[in-house]
Amino acid sequence: MPITLLYAGVFGLFAMVLSFFAGSYRGKIGVSILFSEPADMDLAQRVRVHQNFLEYVPMILILMGAIELSNGSTMFLYIVGDMLFLARIAHAYGLRHDQMNHWGRLVGAGGTALVTVATAGYAVWLGAGQLLG
């Protein structure tokens, strides 16, 4: 599964960068858990960016791996992998505590949703075809 392995590695490093942004800021302001009192919105934003990444990316990687193991299109995997990478960069940049409609958030959330639906739909199509064929 070299394609999924490549993207899993890239997204693993991406997750560590997001974790570093949140963790190093925690150390800087001296807050171990939660967001301090009163809430530090910069910390909450950094933590939420990391959490959101971890909510979506693993499922997509599982779907990509299943597609790859089922001899799905390699071009499809590269396209959704690249789209997800760009969407997650946009989302990390655009998820702001003070601006709900930031373009990065819209592109990131929309791109992630599109990739999720596309990979899930393709996985269902491949699986059904193998069961019926």
Do the Cβ atoms of 94 and 104 come closer than 8 Å? yes
pLDDT at 21: 97
What does the block give as tokens for 106? 């819209």
59 token code pair: 């499922």
Which pTM value belongs to this model?
0.93
Q: What's 86's domain CATH number?
A: 1.20.120.550
Report the number of distinct structural domains present in the chain: 1
Q: What is the mean pLDDT of each run of 10 residues along the chain (133 residues)?
A: 98 98 94 81 95 98 98 98 98 94 97 98 97 89
Residue 59's domain comprises 2-132
Whether the CB-CB separation of 106 and 126 falls below 8 Å is answered with no
